[in-house]
Amino acid sequence: MAIFSPILRAQIVKEILLVFRDPKARMGLIIPPLMQLFIFSFAVTLDVNNVKLAIFNQDNGAYSQDFVATMSHAAFVGEIKYVHSQSELESVVEHGSVLAAINIPQTFSNDIIAKRHAKAQVLIDGRRANSGQIVFAYIQAIASNIGASVVSTLPKNIDAGWVRYWFNPALIYQWFVVPSLAAILVNTSALGISALALATERELGTFDQLLITPANYIEIIIAKSVPSLLLGPLLALFMVAVAIFGFKIPFTGSFPAMLFSIYVHVFACVGIGLTISAMCDTQQQAIMGMFTLMVPMMLMSGFSSPVENMPKFMQILAEAIPNKHVLLILQGTFLKGQTFVQILPQLIPLIIIGFVSMTIATIIVRSKLR
């Protein structure tokens, strides 16, 4: 600590004390992580079960029989409705009575025997795109086992790698979610602490007092970032430890690369939080501002629904969300064995977001003094 000037050091100590001495703030740091851990890893599940399917089987060959039989025994299927025309097939999807409908063409078995490209069509209820996509992946896997393939009407652009991770239910779901929670937790805590940081002082009247001291804007911003930079990685490491030791999720990539990314992620979140805080005059406004940003940041991060399914402009917007990048880094370093070099495409945008948001926060704090 001796490398800092006494002016900066005094502020850093103050910021840390402000966060840790406030009983409300302390509770806010402990309860949400635990809640998120339990809710996301046990209660909420992205696995799809008890699915209703419709099948229009125009082929009586052995392979189509096998395909249908495998499907009817698959764990994710609840009920199969057999229909007898293409129009009936379309209407059951349209009415929402099934999630997906499969049209097996007459040539299905013959194509497989002849080693031609055997295809079945899958109609998916686009209103339930998320579960539909997961179910499509299941169906695809079954089809490929018998040497056929399926094509869907909706949604498009399925990423093969993504589907691969989703297959093998029950286990993989947590393999995906628990490491991701590390990023989500950092996001909530860093955003929460920093969004309140300046607004609280302004509301309580200590901000003017701070600005009268010789402390400059850069020092104020640095000091305000420290509690999150200390705490965020700790929370993330806690979640990573839970993932590795609690859920026995294999960590296959570069640990230092992941840890570094976490720090950059905190930095980016603090920048966004301080930008909110710099614009708000009261704690209430800051909390409102925080939630206004946090919900879309979560939804668009790819945590609950794939970014690839969003409209193009949303995908571009998602590039500005730190969660999006850090989730890919976490999945990559945990499951895909990625190294420092391999995560660079995600790390660089994360660093840019951090610097841009920090700069905006500093500019706003300064401009408030004009």
Partner 1 sequence: MNETVIINDAKPAVEFSNLTKTFGATIALDNVEGKFHAGRLTGIVGPDGAGKTTLMRILATLLKPDNGNVSVANFDPEKQFRDVKDNIGYMPQRFGLYEDLSVMENMQLYAKLRKVSPKNRQVLFDRLLDFTRLAPFTARLAGRLSGGMKQKLGLACALMGEPKVLLLDEPGVGVDPVSRQDLWRMVEDLTSDGMAVVWSTSYLDEAEKCESVMLLNEGKVLYDGAPQKLTDTLEGRCFLINGRPQIRRQTLLNALKLPSVADGVIQGSSIRIVERPNADLTQLRDLVKSRESIMIPTKARFEDAFVDLLGGGPSGESQLAKNFGDVVLNGENAVLCQDLTKVFGEFTATDNVNFEVKKGEIFGLLGPNGAGKSTTFKMLCGLLQPTSGIAKVAGYDLRNAAREAKSNLGYMAQKFSLYSILSVKQNLEFSAGVYGLDGALKRDRIDEMIEIFHLQKYLNASPDSLPLGFKQRLALSCALMHRPPVLFLDEPTSGVDPITRREFWIHINGLVERGVTIMVTTHFMEEAEYCDRVAMMYGGKLIALDTPDELKKSVVTKEMQNPTMEDAFIELIARVDAQNAKAKAA
Interface residues with partner 1 (CB under 8 A) are 5-7, 9-11, 13-14, 17-18, 21-22, 204-206, 208-216, 369-370
CB-CB contact of 321 with 297 (8 Å): yes
Nearer to partner 1, 25 or 293 (CB): 25
Instruction: Decide whether 10 or 237 has the Cβ nearer to partner 1.
Output: 10
Q: Please, what is the minimum distance in Å from the beta carbon of residue 8 to partner 1?
A: 9
Rg (CA), the chain: 25
Closest approach, Cβ 162 to partner 1, in A, equals 46
Min separation Cβ 6 and partner 1, Å: 4
Could you tell me the smallest distance in angstroms from the CB atom of residue 365 to partner 1? 13
Q: Which is nearer to partner 1, 90 or 203 (CB)?
A: 203
Residue 186 vs 223, nearer CB to partner 1: 223
Residue 36 CB, shortest distance to partner 1, in Å, is 26
| Residue (49 or 216) nearer to partner 1, CB | 216
Rank residues 174 and 362 by Cβ distance to partner 1 and give the closer one: 362
Q: Considering only CA atoms, which of 205, 224, 310 is closest in space to residue 14?
A: 224
Q: Whose Cβ is closer to partner 1: residue 85's or residue 209's?
A: 209
314 CB-near residues (< 8 Å, 6+ apart): 300
Name beta bridge partners: 100.
53, 124
At closest approach, how far in Å is the CB of 21 from partner 1? 5
Query: Closest distance between partner 1 and the C-beta of residue 202, in Å?
Result: 11
Query: Based on the number of CB atoms within 10 Å of its own CB, is 294 exposed (0-12), middle (13-18) or buried (19 or more)?
Result: buried
